[in-house]
Amino acid sequence: MYPLNRNRRLRSKQSLRNLIKETRISPHDFIVPLFIIEGSNLKEEIPSMPNYYRYSLDVVKKEVKELWNIGVQAVLLFVKVEDHLKDNFGNEAVNKNGLMQRAIKDIKSSVPEMTIMTDVALDPYSTYGHDGIVKDNKILNDPTNLVLSDMALSHAEAGADVVAPSDMMDGRVLSIRKALENNGFHDTGIMSYAVKYASSFYGPFRDALDSKPGFGDKKTYQMDFHNRSEAILEAKSDIEEGSDIIMVKPGLSYLDILRDLKNQVHCPLAIYQVSGEYSMLKAAAKQGWLDHDKVMMEQLVSMKRAGADIIASYFAKDAIKLLS
Ligand code: PBG
C-alpha cells in the first residue's frame, strides 16, 4: 500500500532498470528478408522502402556474409521474377534452375551455417499477382496446393532449411509436409504464415517484387482483420498439418493476436513486421517527426514482449548495430 510500495523505486537508475528488464532482444531473434533479382553486380534501392535493396546473386552472397558476421542466423528469401517467366500456373516456381533455387544453393555454399528460409507462394510468379492459380476470377485452392508442394520440394532439394508458405490456401501445410516426407526431407522445417491478414500494409513489398494483384484483392484467402478467434483456428490447423513455426503478419497492429496465440498454442511464434510498417517509420523519421532508432527499438521490443520468439524485420540490421 502507498507509500510503502512505490513503483518508481526500481526505476530510479539505469543499472537497476537493467536488472529488472523483462524483455531483451538479441541478433538471434531476427529473420532478415532478402529480395533477389537476376543480373550481376546489382544493388537496387526499393523506392517505397528507403535503404532497403534488391540484390543480384553475386551481391546477395556478400550481404549474407555480412549479416552472418553481425550475428544474424536466418534469412528469408524472396525473388523478383521476370515478366516473361510469369504465368498462371507457377511453372517457373518449380524450375530447379530458377532464381530462387540458384539463390538457395549459392547462399548455402557461401554461408553454410545460415538458416535459409524461403517464401512459398505463387504471387511473384503469377501473371495475375495472386498467390494461387486463377480460374474465372477465383483463386483455386487444391490445384494450387499441388504446385506449392512441388515448389517447396524444389526449395528443399536446393538446400532450404525451412520453407515458409505465405499463400493461405487451406491444407497446403499438410500437402507440403507429405511431399517433404515422401521425398526424404524429414528435417526440412515449415514456418507457416498461418495467421496472415488481408492487410494494406503490404504495399511496398508488392512494389519490391512487382507482385500487386492484377484484379480484386486477397480477401478470399487472407484473413479479415476484424477477426480474432479465427487466428487460433488457423494456427491450430496448421500445427496439426505439420507446421513447426507459426507466423503472425503484419506485426504491430496484430500484437493482440500474437498474445492470444502465445497463450493457446505451444510452438515457436514468429511475427512479420511488414513493409508498410518499415516505410511508415522511414517516412516519419525523414520528416523529423519521429526518432527513427528509438521508435524502431520500441516497436521491436513490443513484438517480443507480446510473445514473438522470432521477428522477421527489415530493420534487423539497423537494430543489431544499435544493440552492439
Ligand atoms: C506473398 C507475400 C506478401 C508478403 C510476404 N509474402 C505480400 C502479399 O501477401 O501480398 C508481404 C511482406 C511485406 O509486406 O513485407 N505471398
- 170 alpha-carbon distance from chain centroid: 19
Q: If you take atom 14 of ligand 1, which residue's CA is the nearest one?
A: 202
pLDDT interval class at 52 (50, 70, 90): very high
DSSP 273-286: E-HHHHHHHHHHHH
Q: If you take atom 10 of ligand 1, which residue's CA is the nearest one?
A: 202
Give, for ligand 1, the residue of 81, 166, 220 to mutate: max count of ligand atoms closer than 8 Å to Cβ. Answer: 166
Whether 252 and 273 have beta carbons less than 8 Å apart is answered as: yes
The two most distant CA atoms of the chain are separated, in Å, by: 72
Q: Which residue has the cell 534469412?
A: 75
Q: What is the dihedral of CA 221, 247, 52, 117, to 10 degrees?
A: -100
pLDDT in tens, 183-204: 999 999 999 999 999 999 999 9
Secondary structure of 85-105 in the HEC alphabet?
Answer: HCECCCCHHHCCCCHHHHHHH
Q: Is 277 in the pocket of ligand 1 (CB under 6 A)?
A: no
Q: Is 36 in the pocket of ligand 1 (CB under 6 A)?
A: no
Give the bridge partners for 84, in sequence order: none
Q: How far is the CA of 4 from the centre of ligand 1 (A)?
A: 51
* Whether pLDDT at 21 is above 90: yes
pLDDT in tens, 260-309: 999 999 999 999 999 999 999 999 999 999 999 999 999 999 999 999 99
Q: Is the dihedral of CA 133, 138, 140, 141 positive or negative?
A: positive
Q: If you take atom 7 of ligand 1, which residue's CA is the nearest one?
A: 202
Q: Is 123 in the pocket of ligand 1 (CB under 6 A)?
A: yes
Helices (H) and strands (E) in the chain, counts: 11, 12
Q: Give me the active site residues, please.
A: 196, 249
Q: How far is the CA of 205 from the centre of ligand 1 (A)?
A: 6
Boundaries of every domain in the chain: 24-323
Q: If you take atom 6 of ligand 1, which residue's CA is the nearest one?
A: 166
The C-alpha cell of 263 is what? Answer: 497463450
Q: Is 121 in the pocket of ligand 1 (CB under 6 A)?
A: yes
* Whether pLDDT at 318 is above 90: yes
Q: How far is the CA of 197 from the centre of ligand 1 (A)?
A: 10
CATH class of 24-323: alpha beta
Q: Is 275 in the pocket of ligand 1 (CB under 6 A)?
A: yes
The C-alpha cell of 120 is what? Answer: 512459398
Q: If you take atom 16 of ligand 1, which residue's CA is the nearest one?
A: 166
- Give the pLDDT of residue 317: 97
- Give the pLDDT of residue 81: 97
SS3 74: strand
Q: How far is the CA of 80 from the centre of ligand 1 (A)?
A: 12
CA distance 210 to 280: 20
Whether 163 and 189 have beta carbons less than 8 Å apart is answered as: yes
Whether 194 and 235 have beta carbons less than 8 Å apart is answered as: yes
Q: How far is CA 124 from CA 142, 197, 209, in A?
A: 19, 18, 6
Alpha carbons within 13 A on the beta-carbon side of 185: 23
